[in-house]
Amino acid sequence: MKPDLRPSTFDWVKMKNVQKIHRGLYAIGLGPLIGRIILLLTTTGRRSGKKRVTPLQYEKIGADYYLGAARGVNADWVRNIQINPQVEIRVGAKHFQGIAEIITNPSKFADFMEVRLARHPRMIGLIMEKAHGLPKRPSRAQLEELAKNEAFVIVHPN
């Protein structure tokens, strides 16, 4: 089954509203609570030069933070990283800088998604179904097919 990559399959406006809520929860001091699954990534705007804060789900693997980019290399925050890979992360009560690396390799993307599905089967399964038109437990081949239009970022803390 090929992933459904039509832009209308996912409500990105709702996603922006959810991101505003997450930023607000960090702002009122609830970062340590939601920091288990959501971090705040600060990039530098590629045209404006202004700091841009994006709440994102993450996986910590070793010392690094892995961030999925649902819009692949078209995500604004990923496009900012392409120009300037220096980023800041706030996760829970921690705040640090790092270097971001954009990964588009389908095999590495599938590895990352398999980790996410193993750690959060309900949440990630729902995303696979609603955002990508895949089964809740996609095969390796389906994940690699999806990876052709996706990306993820690894942040290596300084």
Tens-digit pLDDT profile for residues 94-108: 999 999 999 999 999
Fold (CATH) for 7-157: Pnp Oxidase; Chain A (2.30.110)
In this structure, what token pair is assigned to residue 62? 């070793």
pLDDT band with cut points at 50, 70 and 90 for residue 12: low
For residue 106, what are the contacts with CB-CB under 8 A and spacing of at least 6?
Answer: 144, 145, 147, 148
pLDDT band with cut points at 50, 70 and 90 for residue 6: very low
* Spatial contact of 95 and 89, defined as CB atoms under 8 Å apart: yes
User: Taking 50 as the threshold, does the pLDDT of residue 93 lie above it?
Assistant: yes
User: Taking 90 as the threshold, does the pLDDT of residue 109 lie above it?
Assistant: yes
What element of type H or E holds 150? none
For residue 59, what are the contacts with CB-CB under 8 A and spacing of at least 6?
Answer: 65, 66, 112, 115, 116, 119
Most confident of 7-21, 23-37, 57-71: 57-71
Note the pTM of the prediction, 2 decimals.
0.82
More confident residue, 29 or 104: 104
Burial (CB count <10 Å: 0-12, 13-18, 19+), residue 115 = middle
Q: Hey, is 58 helix, strand or coil?
A: strand
More confident residue, 146 or 4: 146
In this structure, what token pair is assigned to residue 158? 């300084």
d(CA 85, CA 74): 16
Q: Structural domain boundaries of the chain?
A: 7-157
Residues 137-157: what's their mean pLDDT? Answer: 93
